[in-house]
Chains A and B, each alone.
Chain A
Amino acid sequence: MIDIRPPIKATNMKKHHALQHLLKRLQKQPKTLAPFVSLLLILSVTALITPGFLEIKFVNGHLYGSLIDILHRGTPTALVALGMAVVIGTRGIDLSVGAVIAISGAVTAVLTVNTDWPVWIVIACALGSGLVCGLWNGLLVSIFNIQPIVATLILMVAGRGIAQMITEGQIVTFHSTALNAIGNEFFLAFPIRVWIALGMIILTIVVMRKTSLGLFIEAVGANVRASRLVGIEARLLVLSAYIFSGFCAALSGIIIAADIRGADANNAGLWLELDAILAVVLAGASLAGGRIYLGLTIIGVLIIQTLTTAILTSGLPVQYNLVVKATIILAVLLIQSPTTRQWLSKRFQSKRRQNPKKGQNSTSSQNHGRADQ
């Protein structure tokens, strides 16, 4: 049989080889690698568009640059996504986190302005409001068996109203050195809020993975009945997952309020629940429960935040912001889709079958081509 295809250059061959290698690895460990690859791709494309995007300077004893901004801005979403991941693990969803952010921010601001209480009590009250909200959601889901999307929708709608009642519809501004530090100051070159988030992330991962709690939560998400039969207290676990999510959202709310030194009941954390759900899904979790990746969820958050910051620094006309963001997210999701991966690997395998020497010995393939000419 005569091969009539044109000769393939050696460099091309190498590229194909590298790509194949990557695809193989993606196939083997798709869940862990895909979010990292997406993040690196987005970062490198942004660096090409906006020179100096990856630059980090040392200003006034702390790090300064767009990358630090991404960490700084991503903190609230990361905290919310952490709680969301645990809830999604139990086959639930928490739509109320944005409203809980508004409530905890409102509590922080109103208590700071209207009382002389020390800041740690104010923070404790705000966190407490989050725990109560989480308890409410958890009771509706685990005791009354209301479907999570509807149960949390109630607080999503009512919560912002509660926050508006607390602030009386105004943006309440406050001055507190401690809260300001949480919102904007640095410790060991990094923003304090990033350290707080990092602490929460590590703590959650350790508790979830070094104890059997994570396993139990995923078991409940995968099959409630089976997990009950083996003696897992499913109701309590689901309840605590929502309480944890409420706590994370409240912490995020304190940070958001501290950031602008005021509580904006109408806008604080608006649509953040959607970003959090997206981050959890980008990490490879299943919304059907039973499968979550905490560390990768944080990478998912960084992907979303990198996109936001990149679009803002790129000088793109505002009308295009949302479409560009959505297109890139779609591309990331497509990369992760099993169908796309199967299709890609099939294409490569069929190519290899047609030309078995290709990719093994570049010189012989070149000779082959020349002989045909």
Chain B
Amino acid sequence: MIDRSIRQHLSWFDTLKQHLLTTVLCVALPVCSVSASAESLTIGFSQIGSESGWRTSETESIKAEAERRGYNLKFSDAQQKQENQIKAVRSFIAQGVDGILLAPVVETGWDQVLKEAKRAHIPVVLVDRGVDANPDLYLTKVASDFREEGALAASWLAAKTNGKCNIVELQGTVGSSAAIDRKAGFDAVISNFPNMKIIRSQSGDFTRAGGKEVMESFLKAESNPKKDICALFSHNDDMALGAILAMKEAGIKPSKDILVVSIDGVPDIFKAMMDGESNATIELNPHLGAPAFDAILAYRAGKTVPKWIKANGPLYLPDTAAAEYNKRK
């Protein structure tokens, strides 16, 4: 107990020392922000696990960014368990790191450990997901806005079809925040266009097989699918890839007879765009390292940091698909 409080005091003292140092440097040197980024920080990163390709690339991107900046990154894989993450965060606090990156596996149950970090004056940056806790307890959240992704997909589709389109929608897993918000963002935009409407919408559970089966049923349900369906909006790329197979088997040319727009930016969808089978994808940005580290630097420099740093990915079109595919392979 005493040991821990001494350590906390020490780490607080360290922080103060570094603050003073930074201030002195800032006074001494004309360009302050450059000097700040030159200091070497020790950052703890508690990752959920490696359950999807996207998460693996998020981990790799954050590790690469830390290496590029010369930071000492302490990485901990929680294997989908909250107790492992709490343990990891506590050990980061005990080691007196300069900042903690946390990709929370669930939303609730973080108050206590976040309070401990706060007491130790260690900023916590949430990456790619939020938590259900008092926002004062963490520095900021670096994550994409699912609503904006849906809205971007709808805007592209509206521009492409001059605001006239019968859309079929493949929803993600019912009740997931990605499915709810992507749908809400998409609906909000197309409600401005009287001639754009969603004629069919079903859940494909974010899987290829699900997307394929649902798309097959959509095609059977329309008497003349080529004419009746103008576009497919899929809440993720994997379902879109399944739906593309279903269209090809029904003798329909994906991206020509039926436009295809989806979200995530997985390598295979770029391959599909290269083959002329998909029209657009919006990347779910895995490069969260740079904005997260910048937030910690800003905190150390005494600047205020917004509670949600939106890290939305761009919309990719077939013209750059080949280059993007080679980058991701």
Contacts and interface: CB of A to CB of B under 8 A. Distances in A.
Interface residues of B, number: 33
B50 A262 contact: no
26 contacts: A50-B221, A52-B221, A60-B251, A65-B220, A66-B220, A69-B217, A69-B220, A169-B56, A170-B53, A171-B53, A171-B208, A171-B238, A184-B245, A259-B212, A260-B242, A260-B245, A261-B245, A264-B209, A266-B51, A267-B207, A267-B208, A312-B213, A313-B221, A315-B221, A319-B174, A321-B203
A259 to B, nearest CB: 7
Contacts of B208: 171, 260, 262, 264, 267
B222 to A, nearest CB: 10
A73 B200 contact: no
A28 B171 CA distance: 46
A318 B203 contact: yes
A362 interface: no
Nearest to B199: A315
Contact of A312 (B214, B245, B249): B214
Contacts of B174: 318-319, 321
A79 interface: no
Given A65-B220, A315-B221, A319-B174, A256 B53 contact: no
Contacts of B205: 267
A73 B207 contact: no
A105 B229 CA distance: 33
Interface string A68-110: 0100010000000000000000000000000000000000000
A373 B183 CA distance: 64
Interface in A260-308: 260-262, 264, 266-268, 308
Contacts of A312: 202, 213-214, 217-218
Contacts of A65: 220
A57 to B, nearest CB: 10
Nearest to A184: B249
Given A171-B268, A184-B249, A260 B217 contact: no
B200 A318 contact: no
Given A267-B209, A312-B217, A318 B171 contact: yes
Interface of A: 50, 52, 59-60, 64-66, 69, 73, 169-171, 173, 184, 256, 259-262, 264, 266-268, 308-309, 312-313, 315, 317-319, 321
Nearest to B200: A315
Contact of A59 (B203, B213, B241, B251): B251
Given A64-B250, A267-B210, 4 more contacts: A266-B52, A313-B220, A318-B171, A318-B202
A256 to B, nearest CB: 7
Given A59-B251, A171-B268, A312-B202, A73 B51 contact: no
Contacts of A171: 53, 208, 238, 268
Interface string B266-284: 0010000000000000000
A210 to B, nearest CB: 36
Chain A at the B interface: mostly helix, strand, loop or mixed? mixed
A52 B242 CA distance: 24
A312 B210 CA distance: 11
Contacts of A184: 245, 249
A267 B172 CA distance: 14
Contacts of A169: 50-53, 56
A63 B253 CA distance: 20
B220 A173 contact: no
Nearest to A52: B223
Of A64, A260, A262, A266, most buried by chain B (CB within 10 Å of CB) is A260
Nearest to B205: A267
B50 A259 contact: no
A127 B251 CA distance: 32
B65 interface: no
Interface in B212-236: 212-214, 216-218, 220-221, 223
Interface in B17-57: 50-53, 56
Of B171, B212, B217, most buried by chain A (CB within 10 Å of CB) is B217
A7 to B, nearest CB: 46
A264 B211 CA distance: 13
Of B214, B220, B241, B268, most buried by chain A (CB within 10 Å of CB) is B220
Contacts of A261: 245
Interface string B150-177: 0000000000000000000001001000
B207 A264 contact: yes
B142 to A, nearest CB: 24
Nearest to B208: A260
B201 interface: yes
Given A264-B209, A313-B217, A313-B221, A173 B203 contact: no
Contacts of A256: 209
Nearest to B206: A267
A59 B249 CA distance: 11
A73 B220 CA distance: 14
Of B205, B213, B250, most buried by chain A (CB within 10 Å of CB) is B213
A186 to B, nearest CB: 10
A315 B171 CA distance: 13
Nearest to B249: A184
A256 B203 CA distance: 19
Interface string B77-89: 0000000000000
A312 B222 CA distance: 12
Contacts of A60: 251
B183 to A, nearest CB: 10
Contacts of A50: 221
A285 B152 CA distance: 52
Given A173-B268, A318-B171, A318-B174, A66 B217 contact: yes
